[in-house]
Amino acid sequence: MKKFVLATTCALGASLLAPVALAQEAAPDCAAQASTKKLAGAALNSFLKKCERDAATASCNASAAEKKLAGAAKTSFTKKCVKDATGKKPQ
């Protein structure tokens, strides 16, 4: 019984953290793009935040599609997913 609970907990945790991991993987791409554009200061910070949020939104939308969510359920899931992935409320 303990093995079942442990396995279920691990599987659930992995599925909830997948969008967060995908958003974090996008961060190096965002930094590379910012470097290519030679951004600095406030422009760099703004670009990185938007890039990370967009990457999180894309991965969360993919997760919502996998779960076959639509309408209000998809919107709610995506907002919470992006917030969890970026630590901020989406605009």
pLDDT in tens, 24-72: 455 668 888 988 999 899 999 999 999 999 999 999 999 999 999 999 9
Q: How many domains does the chain have?
A: 1
Half-sphere exposure of 39 (CA within 13 A, CB side): 17
Q: Is residue 35 part of a domain?
A: yes
Report residue 91's pLDDT band, with 50, 70 and 90 as the boundaries.
Answer: low
Find where tokens 């990457």 sit. 55
Return d(Cα 19, Cα 26) in angstroms, integer: 11
DSSP 8-state secondary structure symbol assigned to residue 87: S
Model-wide pTM > 0.75? no
Domain, as residue range, for 30: 2-86
